[in-house]
Amino acid sequence: MTAVPSPADGQLPLRVALVEDQRATRESWSRLISSFSDFTCVCACATAEEALLLVPQSKPNVILMDIFLPRMSGIECTARLKAVLPKVPIVMLTASDEDETVFQALQAGANGYLLKRTEPAALRAALLDVLNGGAPMTSEVARRVIDSFHTKKPNREKPINLTAREEETLVLLTKGYSNKEIAEHQNLSIETVRSHLKNVYEKLHVRSRTEAVVNYLSKQKE
Amino acid sequence: MTAVPSPADGQLPLRVALVEDQRATRESWSRLISSFSDFTCVCACATAEEALLLVPQSKPNVILMDIFLPRMSGIECTARLKAVLPKVPIVMLTASDEDETVFQALQAGANGYLLKRTEPAALRAALLDVLNGGAPMTSEVARRVIDSFHTKKPNREKPINLTAREEETLVLLTKGYSNKEIAEHQNLSIETVRSHLKNVYEKLHVRSRTEAVVNYLSKQKE
DNA sequence: GCTGGGCTCACCCGATTGGGGGATTTTAAT
DNA sequence: ATTAAAATCCCCCAATCGGGTGAGCCCAGC
C-alpha cells in the first residue's frame, strides 16, 4: 500500500539493525543483508542492553531481533525499543518453534516473525514486506498465529440467555460499579438491581460479582 | 512441513470447493482454479445453505469462502462447515477491508484470508500453502492480524509497583476467589489478605475488588 | 382470558467487604 | 548497626453483598 518510508524513496539503501547474540550468526546475517544492493546493515548488536543503546542511534528503517538473548530477552528488548522507535518495524528471529514466544513477541510489538532458516531471497522479501506495512511470517508461524484465533472452544453449550436488564446490569458490573451506582445509573431501586444480579449469578453459575465479571470478561476475549 | 494431504499424493488434482454468491465471480474463479493443472474446482456454490449441503459431498481438499453471502454469512457458514469437515482448511475471500470480519472469520475457524484481487499465481500459491498447513494471508491482512496483538497502548504511565504478595493476591482476586478462599490458598490469615488488598486498592486507585479485577484484566489484554 | 416471563420493588439475615487504626517480625538495603 | 520496606496479623465499624421469599405490574402467546 504505502511506499517504503524514510530514505527519501531514492536509491539510498534501507537501513537494517540486527540483534543476535551468537557471533557467527550475527556476522553472517550482517554480511548477507549488506550484500543486498538495496539494504545495508547499520547496526549489529550482541545483547539487548547494547541494542537499547545503539539501535536508536543507528536510525534503522527496520530491526531484526533474535528472540533468545542473554539476560534481557528479545521480547523485552522489542517492547523497550518500540517505546523509543514506535514507527520502526521489528521482525523477530527464532531458530525454534516455541508457541508461547510468538504471542509474547507480537504482543510486545513485533511486526513479523521469521525462522532463522529462512532463505536469503525470502529474507529480502520479508524486509521489503514489513517496510511496506506487511507482516511477514513463515507459513508455520502464520499458522500458529491463526490457530490462536481458533483456540479451545469446546463451548458447545447453550449460550446463556440473559434478559436485556440482566445484561445491562452485568455490563455495568464489569465497569466496576457498586449496586448503588448501577441503580442510580439506571434509575432503579437498589433492590431491583440486586434482583437482576441474583438472576445473573444463577444463570452464570457464580456466587459473587467478581466471579461474574471474570466470567463475562473472559467470554468477551474469545 | 507435512506433505499435501489426501489424493494419495499421486497426480490426482487437488479438489477445491468455492462458495461465492456473485455468479460472474464464481464462474471465473471456478474456471481459473480448474485451469491449474494440479487443481480442480469440484463445487461452486452461490449460497451458504447450498454450501452446507453440497460441499461436504464434494470431498474437497480445501474450501474458498466468500465473506459476504446473502442471509447466512460466510463466517457462519465457515463455522458450520468446520463442524462437519474439521480437517479441511478454509480460506476466506473478501473484496473489502473491514477489520471486524477478519477476526470473526478466523475465530470461526478460517485458516487463511485473501483479498479477491489476488493474482492467479498468488492464489495457487495460497492454496498450496494452506494445504501444507500454512496460513496464507495478504500482507495487508497479516498486518491487521498482527495489529490486533498490539492494540491500544497509550500507557505511558508508571507501571505501578505491586509487591510479590500483593500481585499474588490480585491474581487470585481475578480468579473470582473471596478473601477467605485466598487466605486458605496461600496459608495466610484472612486479615493479611485484607491487608494486602488494601494496599493493592490504594496503588491501583480503586475502591472495590471488582474495580481492581477490571483494572487488572484490562491491562492483561493489551 | 389465562399463563408465563420479564421487570419492578421490598424485607430479612448472615457473611463479606472496605476503611481506619494499629503491632510484630522478617528481609533488604545502607 | 540502623533503617526502611515488606509481610504478617489483630480489632473495630459501617457499608455492601449474596441468598431467600414474596408481591405487584405489564405484555405476549396460547
A214 closest CB neighbour out of B111, B133, B213: B213
Q: Please give the Cα distance from A85 to A182 (Å, whole number).
A: 43
CATH number for B110: 3.40.50.2300
Q: A142 and A84, same structural domain?
A: yes
Q: How far apart are CA A157 and CA A135, in angstroms?
A: 36
Q: Which residues of B touch A79 (CB under 8 A)?
A: none
pLDDT of residue A47: 75
Both B77 and B142 in one domain: the answer is: yes
Q: What is the crossing angle of helices A139-147 and B139-147, to 10°? A: 50
- Nearest by CB to A134, from B135, B139, B174: name it: B139
pLDDT at B6: 44
CA A184, chain centre distance (Å): 39
CA atoms of B40 and B12, how far apart (whole Å)? 9
Tell whether A99 and A142 lie within a shared domain: yes
Query: Is B33 a domain residue?
Result: yes
Protein contacts on strand C: list nucleotides below 7 Å from a Cβ: 5-11, 16-22
> How distant is C1' of C7 from CA of A163, in Å?
10
At residue B62, the pLDDT reads 94
Task: Give, rounded to a whole angstrom, the gap between the first and last alpha carbons of chain A.
Answer: 30
* Residue A203 lies in domain: 164-220
Determine, yes or no, domain membership for B1. no
Contact assignment for A214 to B214 by CB distance below 8 Å: no
Does residue A114 share a domain with residue A59? Answer: yes
Between chain A and chain B, the number of residue pairs with CB atoms below 8 A apart is 99
User: Residue B91: its chain A contacts at CB < 8 A?
Assistant: none
Residue percentage of chain A with pLDDT more than 90: 19
Instruction: Give the C-alpha separation, A77 to A69, whole Å.
Output: 9
Reported as half-sphere exposure (CB side, CA atoms, 13 A), residue B33 has a value of 25
> Residue A118 pLDDT more than 50?
yes
- Is the Cβ–Cβ distance between B61 and B15 less than 8 Å? yes
CATH number of the CATH domain containing B200: 1.10.10.10
Predicted confidence at residue B35, as pLDDT, reads 93
Q: Three cell numbers at B172?
A: 487470585
Straight-line distance from CA B212 to C1' C23, in Å? 28
Residue A63 has pLDDT above 70, yes or no: yes
| Residue pLDDT, tens place only, A6-33 | 444 456 789 999 998 777 788 888 999 9
- How close does chain A come to B185, measured CA to CA in Å? 17
* A212, closest residue in chain B (CA to CA): B176
Q: Confidence band (pLDDT; 50, 70, 90) for A38?
A: very high
Q: Does residue B127 belong to any structural domain of this protein?
A: yes
Measured CA to CA, the distance from residue A12 to residue B130 in angstroms comes to 37
Phi, psi of A147 (to 5 degrees): -55, -35
Q: Please give the model's pTM, rounded to 2 decimal places.
A: 0.46
Quote the crossing angle between the two packed helices A190-204 and A179-186, to the nearest 10°. Answer: 110
User: CA–CA separation, B221 vs A124, rounded Å?
Assistant: 33
3-state class of B207 per DSSP?
Answer: coil
Nearest protein residue by Cα to C1' of nucleotide D20 = A198
Q: How far is B161 from chain A (nearest CA, A)?
A: 18
Query: b vs e for A57-67, b when ≥16 Cβ sit within 10 Å of the residue's Cβ?
Result: ebebbbbbbbb
Does residue A209 reach within 7 angstroms of strand D, measured from its CB? yes
Per-residue pLDDT of B35-84, as tens digits, reads 999 999 999 988 787 888 889 889 999 999 988 766 557 787 888 888 77
CB-nearest partner of B132 from A139, A178, A222: A139
Question: Residue A40: pLDDT band by 50, 70, 90 thresholds?
Answer: very high
- Contact in structure between B58 and B14 (CB atoms under 8 Å): no
Q: Residue B157: inside a domain, yes or no?
A: no
Query: What is the spatial distance, in angstroms and rounded to an integer, between the CA atom of B221 and the C1' atom of C30?
Result: 39
A33 and A127 both lie in a single domain: yes
User: B55 with B19: CB under 8 angstroms?
Assistant: yes
| Rounded Cα distance, B136 and A138, in Å | 9
| Mean pLDDT of each 10-residue bin along chain B, 222 residues long | 45 87 85 92 86 88 84 76 84 68 74 82 88 79 68 44 84 89 87 92 87 84 56
- For cell 504482543, what's the residue? A107
Over 80: is that where the pLDDT of A43 sits? Answer: yes
Predicted local distance difference test score (pLDDT) of residue B18: 94
Looking at the structure of chain B, the number of domains it has is 2
Assess if residue A157 is contained within a domain.
no
> Is A49 in the same domain as A107?
yes
Of A136, A139, A176, the CB nearest to B211: A176
pLDDT number for residue A212? 92
CA distances from B145 to A143, A153, B51, B205 (A): 12, 20, 27, 34
| Domain boundary, last residue among B116, B147, B178 | B147
Mark yes or no for CB contact B173/A210 under 8 Å.
Answer: yes
Taking CA atoms, what residue in A is nearest to B220?
Answer: A107
